[in-house]
A = this chain, B = another copy of it.
Amino acid sequence: MSRRSLGLLTLVALSCLAASADSPNLLVDPFVGTDDMGHTFPGATVPFGLVQLSPQTDLVPYSSGDGYNPEAYRYCSGYQYGDTTIVGFAHTHFSGTGHSDLGDVLMMPTVGVLQLDPGTAEEPESGYRSRFSHQREAAEPGAYRVTLDDSGIEVELTATERVGVHRYTFPASDAAHLIVDLTANIYDYPGKTVWTSVRMENDRLLTGYRQTSGWARSRVLYFAIAFGKPVESYGLRNEEAEIYRGFWRRFDQDHDFPERVGRRVKCHFDWETAEGEQIVVKVALSSVSTAGAVANLEAEAPGWDFDGLRDRAKSRWAEELNRIKLDADPVILANFYTALFHSSMAPVVYSDVDGRSRGLDGNVFSSLGFTNYTVFSLWDTYRAQHPLLTILQPQRSVDMVRSLLAHRQQSVHGVLPVWSHHANENWCMIGYHAVSVLADAYLKGLGGFDADQALEAMIASADFDRYDGIGDYRQLGWVPADRQTSAASKTLEYAYDDWTIARVAESMGRTEVAAEFGRRAASWRNLYDPETGFLRARNADGSFPADFDPMDTHGQGYIEGNAWNYSLFVPHDVAGFIDLLGGPDALVTWLDNLFEMEIDDASIAANEDITRAGIIGNYVHGNEPSHHVPYLYCFAGQPWKTQARVRRIMTEMYRPAPDGLGGNDDLGQMSAWYVFSALGFYPVAPGSNQYVLGSPAVRRAEIDLAGGRSFVVIADNQAPGNVYVDSVRLNGAPLDRCYITHQEVAAGGELHFVMSDHPNREWATAAEQRPYSMSR
Name the B residues within 8 Å of A258 (CB-CB): 412-413
For residue A70, give the distance in angstroms from its CB to the closest CB of chain B.
15
* Chain A 410-429 interface mask (CB, 8 Å, partner B; 1/0): 00110000000000001110
Q: Is the CB of A361 within 8 A of B189?
A: no
Chain B, Cβ-Cβ closest to A195: B194
Chain B, Cβ-Cβ closest to A196: B218
For residue A286, give the distance in angstroms from its CB to the closest CB of chain B.
11
Q: Is the CB of A63 within 8 A of B243?
A: yes
A433 at the interface (CB under 8 A from B): no
* Chain A 507-550 interface mask (CB, 8 Å, partner B; 1/0): 00000000000000000000000000000000000000000000
* Chain A 173-210 interface mask (CB, 8 Å, partner B; 1/0): 00000000000000001111011010111000001010
Q: Is the CB of A291 within 8 A of B197?
A: no
Contact for A362 among B194, B243, B257, B289, CB less than 8 A: B289
Q: Is the CB of B361 within 8 A of A248?
A: no
Q: Is the CB of B195 within 8 A of A246?
A: no
A77 at the interface (CB under 8 A from B): no
* Chain A 243-271 interface mask (CB, 8 Å, partner B; 1/0): 11011101100000111011100000000
Q: Is the CB of B243 within 8 A of A207?
A: no
Whether A189 touches B468, Cβ cut-off 8 Å, given contacts A195-B195, A363-B290, A412-B201, is no
Chain B, Cβ-Cβ closest to A291: B363
Q: Is the CB of B217 within 8 A of A195?
A: no
A81 at the interface (CB under 8 A from B): no
Q: Cα distance A712–B258 when bound, in Å?
A: 51
Q: Cα distance A531–B237 when bound, in Å?
A: 45
Q: Cα distance A190–B263 when bound, in Å?
A: 13
Contact for A290 among B199, B261, B362, CB less than 8 A: B362
A132 at the interface (CB under 8 A from B): no
Prevailing SS type, chain A contact patch: loop
Q: Is the CB of B197 within 8 A of A244?
A: no
Q: Cα distance A428–B250 when bound, in Å?
A: 10
Q: Cα distance A262–B214 when bound, in Å?
A: 11
Q: Is the CB of A250 within 8 A of B468?
A: yes
Whether A217 touches B248, Cβ cut-off 8 Å, given contacts A289-B364, A290-B362, A291-B363, is yes
* Best-surrounded residue of A243, A250, A364 (most CB of chain B within 10 A): A243
Name the B residues within 8 Å of A724 (CB-CB): none
Q: Is the CB of A426 within 8 A of B246?
A: yes
Which residues of chain A from 214 to 233 have any CB-CB distance to chain B below 8 Å in the complex?
Answer: 214-215, 217-218
Q: Cα distance A201–B197 when bound, in Å?
A: 30
Given contacts A194-B195, A257-B466, 9 further A-B contacts (CB under 8 A): A63-B243, A65-B243, A189-B243, A189-B244, A199-B412, A201-B412, A213-B261, A218-B261, A246-B428
Pairs A-B, 8 closest by C-beta atoms: A247-B427, A291-B363, A218-B261, A258-B412, A199-B412, A289-B363, A189-B243, A259-B412
